[in-house]
Structure 1
Amino acid sequence: MTTRKRSFPTRIILLLFRLSIYFILVTLLWVGLYVFLPPPVTATMLMDDNGITKDWISLSDISPNLTRAVIAAEDSKFCSHDGFDKQAIFKAIEHNRQGKRIRGGSTISQQTAKNVFLWQDGGYFRKGLEAYFTFLIEKIWGKKRIIEVYLNVAETGIGTYGAQAAAQRYFKKDASALTKFESARIAAALPLPKKRAVNGARGFTRRYGNTIAARINVVKNEGLDDCVYK
């Protein structure tokens, strides 16, 4: 009895199918592990020539002021979207299409997926992977875990990562003791942590920090942090 040999296109399709299954299984395991374990290091950290200063702490040890400041600054719809703020994405696309200064439309969930599992640059391919990992962490982690991981891995200064490292570096205190003003100053620097000063901020960064500080109570009073604290 002879075995019919598969054609080359068929073999390619089968190979791609197997690779897709392996990819899904590996990424599900990877994301699942981080439900319980802190991500030990990220690609951004490994590629940072300034070294790595970080100290993982639980969400309960981070001041709600900082959580609310980050929501106010980065993603006011964090608790209501499914990982993607479609309105912000469309606005960013239109803004960039007009040839203006490039603006992103990433949510905290997307930023967390990128920071933990991927790298900073990479165009549409990386954005596609980012969307995939964002979907996974929204379904597997939930909002509290997402914000907890984000606040521990986000770059908060040159060679500085996470809330605790930032609080110690800039204010010589634990992240649990951050005031509204201090939290707002950290949040204001998040989009460009290597360029924006936390201490001694001037110009736009200073004004932006003051705006964030004023919005912290709005986040609390309007329940924009309900998925984190209720």
Structure 2
Amino acid sequence: MDIEAEGKTDGGGEAVRARRFLPSVQGRFRSILMGVGFFVLIPYALIVLYWLPFVRPVSTLMLADLAFFRGYDRQWVELDDISPNVVKAVMMSEDGQFCAHNGVDWGQLRGVVQDALDGEATRGASTITMQTAKNLFLWNGRSFLRKTLELPLALFANTLWSKRRTMEIYLNIAEWGPGLYGIEAAARHYFKVPAAKLSLRQATLLAVSLPNPVLRKASKPTRNMTRLVPVIERRARASGDYITCIYN
């Protein structure tokens, strides 16, 4: 009788502990989900903040440089103080349909997905809007997770920001070398002139260095860069119909 009663007592204790443990696990899981959700939503709040013309955003790479005490060089300039040669060259090099798409070039993206499914080498399909979202909130390197986060951010930014604002932010946070960010710092570093005075050739050299600014230096173009420059220059000169969202 005593043993049976003791067994009942122990069983009851285990049931109580189980009932206490389950809410504890559920509470932790709920807290983790809330924390993840909070960090996922932060970029969207910042996109709203960055709509304000007097706000000067910084990129994740710039923040990383600060975190590791490396520092960086960035001098913010308004879009009106950047040579149109830069806008034309960058648009023709990075995103020729910038004025036409909604932040994502779905045609290019479908082509990349199809190439991947066919086992072929994929090409870049990131628009300037997508690159801006990535630079502001995400990380470098190719991954499905990053691209999944990047797409809705680009769509939301395109909905809220004007094309001029997107281009202004992009040109002021783009990396042009280790610790070197923004077109003004790049122009002065490589060509000793302000961004407003860049020639088409100088602007094109800066534009074709963007895909790999650590290895490509605008002032010392590689053979591949030299090959690309006349192509981008030719497109830039004929870009009138493509840049109407920037210069009406």
Please give the per-residue CA displacement for 1:125-165, whole angstroms capped at 9, x wherever unaligned: 22121112112211111211110000000111232111101
Structure (1 or 2) with the greater helix fraction: 2
Residue in 1 that maps onto 2:245: 227
Q: Which is higher, the Rg of structure 1 or of structure 2?
A: 2
Structure 1 residue 58 corresponds to structure 2 residue 78: yes
Residue matched to 1:86: 106
TM-superposed CA distance for 1:30, in Å, is 1.4
Distance 2:121 2:225 in 1: 17
Q: How does 1:109-124 map to 2 (within 5 A)?
A: 109-121=129-141, 123-124=143-144
* TM-score using structure 1 length: 0.85
The equivalent residue for 1:131 is 151
Instruction: Identify if the C-alpha distance between structure 1 residues 26 and 45 changes in structure 2 by more than 3 Å, giving closer, same or farther.
Output: closer
Deviates more, 1:10-19 or 1:172-181: 10-19
Q: Deviations over 1:68-91 (max 9, x none)?
A: 101100101000000111111122
- The one-character-per-residue Cα deviations of 1:35-85 (angstroms, maximum 9, x if unpaired) are 22111x322224457642111111010011100101100101000000111
Q: How far is 1:27 from its partner?
A: 3.7
SS at match of 1:226: coil
Query: Deviation at 1:183?
Result: 0.5
Q: Is the 8 A contact 1:55 1:162 kept in 2?
A: yes
Q: Distance in 1 between matches of 2:110 and 2:61?
A: 27
How far did residue 189 of structure 1 move? 0.5
In 1: Cα distance, 2:200 partner to 2:182 partner? 17
Question: Partner letter of residue 33 of structure 1?
Answer: L
- What is the deviation of 1:13? 9.6
Paired residues of 2:96 and 2:242 also in contact (CA < 8 A): yes
* 1:192 is the counterpart of 2:192: no
Q: CA RMSD in A?
A: 2.7
Paired position in structure 2 for 1:3: none
- 153, 161, 164: which is aligned to 2:173? 153
Pairing partner for 2:203 from 139, 161, 183:
183
Contact 2:44 2:153 in 1 (8 A): no
Q: Distance in 1 between matches of 2:41 and 2:212?
A: 34
2:47 is the counterpart of 1:31: yes
Question: Secondary structure at 2:239's aligned position in 1?
Answer: helix
Shift of the 23–202 alpha-carbon distance from structure 1 to 2, 3 Å rule, reads closer
Give the counterpart of 1:163 among 157, 167, 183: 183
Show structure 2 runs of 5+ residues with no match. 1-21
Structure 1: gaps of 5 or more residues: 1-6
Deviation at 1:117, TM superposition (A): 1.3
Q: Which residue of 2 aligns with 1:45?
A: 62
CA–CA distance in structure 2, aligned partners of residues 158 and 209 of structure 1: 22
Distance 1:181 1:122 in 2: 30
Residue identity (%): 34
Q: CA deviation at 1:94?
A: 3.2
Residues 120, 90 of structure 1: alpha-carbon distance in 2 compared, 3 angstrom cutoff: same
Distance of 2:38 and 2:196 partners within structure 1: 41
Count, aligned residues: 222
Asked whether the equivalents of residues 157 and 193 of structure 1 are also in contact (C-alpha less than 8 Å), the reply is yes
Q: Which moved more, 1:8-17 or 1:137-146?
A: 8-17
Which AA in structure 2 matches 1:71?
M
